[in-house]
Amino acid sequence: MTLSVSTPFWGAPTSYLNFCEEDYVITRYVAEFINTLSSFTYIIYGIYGLIQLHQKKQTGSRSIPYCGLIGVGICSGGYHMTLKYHTQMSDELSMHLLTTPLLYRILTFQASPQFTKIARIVLSLLFTIVMVVHMVMDEFLLHAVSFGTAVLLITIRTLKIIPGQISDVSTRKTIQNVASFGVASFVFGYLVWLIDELACRVLLSTREVVGLPLAFFLELHGWWHVFTAIGGYIAVAIIDLITSGEVQADSVEHLAWPLPIVARFMAPGAEASKEK
């Protein structure tokens, strides 16, 4: 799949991570074309969420996680476009700017004012410590562990809260199914990320054989972006619904594609009962 490209616009990469996609193959202005393009998935889902809030005339703090999702897309795109150290740092920072507000919101839901205050202080301190240590010491492991822990806590807490907040059995099952799909999407994205890392040589040779445009589908880090964007959007949307008390029977139908289709597919019994 290697093409002849003139001198890279951004110069030599300075980031300490470089993924399996070949650099500057499509254009001298974009280091990793598919990884950059796929980062727009986060932006699209974030914008969709903001539009939904605007239609409900709901702004303020509820828009922060969706803005965080957009921020992840912008920073990820900037990183893969340039492969510079400072854009890598912004990409990794944006991941915590998304998970920290979500974690705060789900942990403090229906909590006492005292606990809410403590959670705000603790999460702010942890966020500051993680990012300062990460940027000053180039400590990637701390970033990865803290991000993974935040995702795990958000998942556990959200799945635990859903049964107590949704009394209607059918609606509760639908929301649980969508939330589970979000978890599965994130896990699958992580798996393809691992394959992209561990089987890079095989992927590169296969891309050479199949050629463009089929080779684009074997850029697995790009698929990591797509599936984690779906999982991230589901987390933001479900947490917003259950903490705002706006869960209704048709709530999933208003979520972004493919969630309405997923909900119908995962609940064939519910659909059958409706037809009767």
**221 annotated to bind ligand:** yes
Instruction: Calculate mean pLDDT across residues 149-157.
Output: 95
**Mutual angle of helices 140-165 and 85-107, in 10-degree steps:** 30
pLDDT band of 219, cuts 50, 70, 90: very high
Residue 247 three-state SS? coil
Comparing 24-38, 55-69, 129-143, 156-170, the range with the smallest average pLDDT is 129-143
CATH class of 33-266: mainly alpha
pLDDT at 249: 83
Supply the mean pLDDT for the chain: 91
**254 annotated to bind ligand:** no
pLDDT tens-digit profile of 102-120?
999 999 999 999 999 999 9
pLDDT score of 204 more than 70: yes
Residue 30 three-state SS? strand
pLDDT score of 275 more than 50: no
**225 annotated to bind ligand:** yes
pLDDT at 183: 95
pLDDT band of 142, cuts 50, 70, 90: confident
Quote the percentage of the chain above a pLDDT of 70.
95
Burial state string for 245-255 with b = 16 or more CB within 10 A and e = fewer than 16:
eebeeebbeeb
Instruction: Calculate mean pLDDT across residues 207-232.
Output: 95
Long-range contacts of 118-127 (CB under 8 A, 24+ apart): 127/96, 127/100
pLDDT band of 274, cuts 50, 70, 90: very low
pLDDT tens-digit profile of 9-64?
999 999 988 899 999 999 999 999 999 999 999 999 999 999 999 998 887 889 99
Could you tell me where the DSSP H helices lie in 138-199? 140-165, 169-198
Domain ranges of the chain: 33-266
pLDDT at 5: 60
**134 annotated to bind ligand:** no
pLDDT score of 6 more than 70: no
Q: What does R_g of the chain's alpha carbons equal in angstroms? A: 20
pLDDT at 269: 59
pLDDT band of 1, cuts 50, 70, 90: low
